[in-house]
Structure 1
Amino acid sequence: MKNNFQKQVKLLSGVLSIFLVLIFILFVGLFYLKNNPSFLQPELEEELVEISKEENDQIENGIHVQTGFIDDEHMDLVIQNCTSCHSAKLVTQNKMSEEGWKATIKWMQETQNLWDLGPNEAKIVSYLAKNYAPEAKGRRANLEVVEWYELK
């Protein structure tokens, strides 16, 4: 019985020793990574290409290439004030009247910490109401089917 107990103590101490060595290795590794962050992210040898203002402000077919906004008066104000918080797509996918855009701006100011736009608000709303207004849609066109058939 005593011999069996000694074997178990010896086995347990061996397992504990291995566990402590692994913990030590883990801490040394974490210390090394903390002090050498480039180990995980090696420096890129590529040169960064600077995008010029001209390339950034390209207009193709009346659309600002980078943002997708319609090129019109006060577009720059909209880009500066709207895309600093969210993507341009969030603006361009919406269609609202002047009242709708004003209400949306007021909501963002009250709930999303949008700053006071001051005299620029009227220009921004004017741009949005002109270029992203609801589209008048009538009834869809009649279906032109040459031959009708019965489902069985």
Structure 2
Amino acid sequence: MQGPALDHEVRTLAGAPRSLADYRGQVLLIVNTASQCGLTPQYHALEALHQRFRGRGFSVLGFPCNDFGAQEPGSPEEIQQFCATRFQINFPLFEKVKAKGDKSPLYRTLTEELPEGLRGEIKWNFTKFLVGKDGRVSHRFEPQIEPLAPEVMQAVERALSA
């Protein structure tokens, strides 16, 4: 059965439509990103995590977001250029989302429709949601938790082994 995190149509940063259902059977880390945030260096660790586990059916999915401190003001082209040249990002990047206020459908699901302990308002950039092979969110990691932190690595390993 497809989980609620996969029940969304999104657009790539280049503007092409993409169904998150295409990722069914994979483990995903969905992250709201920003290019001008104090946490922007987490892009390095997100790419390292992506590279480490991608051969086992894992992907980071980046969703630029300008909701917190207006720290993602760029156009899709500027975001792509920044991520490619500054951080050599190879994981998929999507069009900007609204993670608060009039939320994008994916972020409405992540903040309002998940079980207790996972749902709740996004506090800042680089909030991470781990989605299992079944499409269901199993973990939420707040912005200050580094992508290569032991708790994230262990959760990814468990999800890949499930």
Q: TM-score surpassing 0.5?
A: no
TM-score (norm 2): 0.23
Structure 1 or 2: more helix by fraction: 1
Bigger fraction of residues in strand: 2
Q: Say which one has the larger Rg.
A: 1
Higher relative contact order (CA 8 A, sep 6+): 2
